Structure 1
């Protein structure tokens, strides 16, 4: 059987199908391109979305029982990291790195805050977080909260986390490993990736402090 072009010229039906196939392929490519613009943070993928997309309103509880919000953190730049106290590698490495960077900054080291947000509220109570953070030898604000509060701050920073079952009925948590650097007004500036050189991370911190 045949079909016709718009000018009335007959053509085989399979040619028409080919034209339709190309059109559908084009639409799929556009959809994929649009989807690629929406970035979901993974532990091994650095953020690539626009700066205003990171940060926002949140309210959590620190290790001393005080309420900490996005507004109460304003006035001083801060580095914020999401993890959990039983994390075997990325979390202690990242927090120790921030402690070392603060030390390298000398007198400027206390001009920014370090904030740790637990993504394991079922296990990490504020006392657990407080005890954990003392291991790093520098002041760190540790935050926890209800499931709803955690969902709000995770959404604000586009953080990925997921419980992963392990043998014996326990679990670990896969999560974003980037450290977010925010300016004194609570605006996102850049990130420190857990694999980037120390001198590059130090330069980023200096820039945030000076801004």
Structure 2
């Protein structure tokens, strides 16, 4: 059976000011949304993981699985390019990959998978129950789909963005380019520019 990935669950995400471009963002502005705000999962070294560990950084959070043939590697490759486009500010970006397939995505496998993209990217995992709770809290849909003698996964393909204070702000659509994502992140890094845009928009 052909794998079908749910590219987004846009209907479930509240838009701020009635527009995805309320503050000049290409992404969906979900500031104030009741998503997350954190998870009860583990890093690949077995230590408890929390989004609070990255206060002071922008966080790009993506749910996926290592055996995904296209959507997940594309999203992670885009994140690599986003970090490059940010230049020196790339050090202020943290990418977090949450596996929805903990049965196959072991800690060593996830470590190697992240390293293949960027050594600074981190993966987190939990047992089946913890994974289900994290996905529900972050409004992520996923399910197993039989494929030959094994299975693949359908899943929502949004990347969430948290600002430096740990608040959820944006949802990157899978179709967004690295250039568009980087521009959105620069707006978040420069609150004065974002505020200035809003004042001009609502004069």
TM tier relative to shorter chain = 0.7 to 0.9
Out of 156, 162, 183, the position equivalent to 1:203 is 183
Match of 2:23 in 1: none
Judged with a 3 Å threshold, the aligned counterparts in structure 2 of structure 1 residues 137 and 70 are, in CA distance, closer, same or farther, namely: closer
Match of 1:31 in 2: none
TM-score normalised by structure 1 residue count: 0.74
Say which one has the larger Rg: 1
Secondary structure of 2:88 counterpart: helix
Trace 1:39-188 onto structure 2 (pairs within 5 A). 42-46=6-10, 48-49=13-14, 51=30, 52-168=33-149, 170-188=150-168
Shift of 1:138: 4.0
Check the 8 A contact 1:60/1:149 in 2, yes or no.
Answer: yes
Match of 1:21 in 2: none
Secondary structure of 1:53 counterpart: coil
Counterpart CA distance in 1 for 2:94 and 2:166 is 12
Please give the root-mean-square deviation of Cα atoms over the aligned residues, in Å. 1.7
Secondary structure of 2:143 counterpart: strand
TM-score normalised by structure 2 residue count: 0.77
Check the 8 A contact 2:78/2:177 in 1, yes or no.
Answer: no
Counterpart CA distance in 2 for 1:106 and 1:70 is 23
Counterpart CA distance in 1 for 2:43 and 2:189 is 23
Deviation track 1:99-155 (CA, whole Å, cap 9, x = no partner) reads 111011110001021000000011111111001111113411100011222122212
Counterpart CA distance in 1 for 2:163 and 2:88 is 18
In structure 2, the gaps of 5 or more residues are 1-5, 16-29, 192-203
Higher RCO (Cα < 8 Å, 6 or more apart): 2
Check the 8 A contact 1:55/1:187 in 2, yes or no.
Answer: no
Counterpart CA distance in 2 for 1:55 and 1:151 is 13
Shift of 1:45: 4.0
Check the 8 A contact 1:60/1:69 in 2, yes or no.
Answer: yes
Secondary structure of 1:159 counterpart: coil
> In the comparison of the two structures, how many residue pairs are matched?
169
Check the 8 A contact 1:44/1:176 in 2, yes or no.
Answer: yes
Judged with a 3 Å threshold, the aligned counterparts in structure 2 of structure 1 residues 106 and 138 are, in CA distance, closer, same or farther, namely: farther
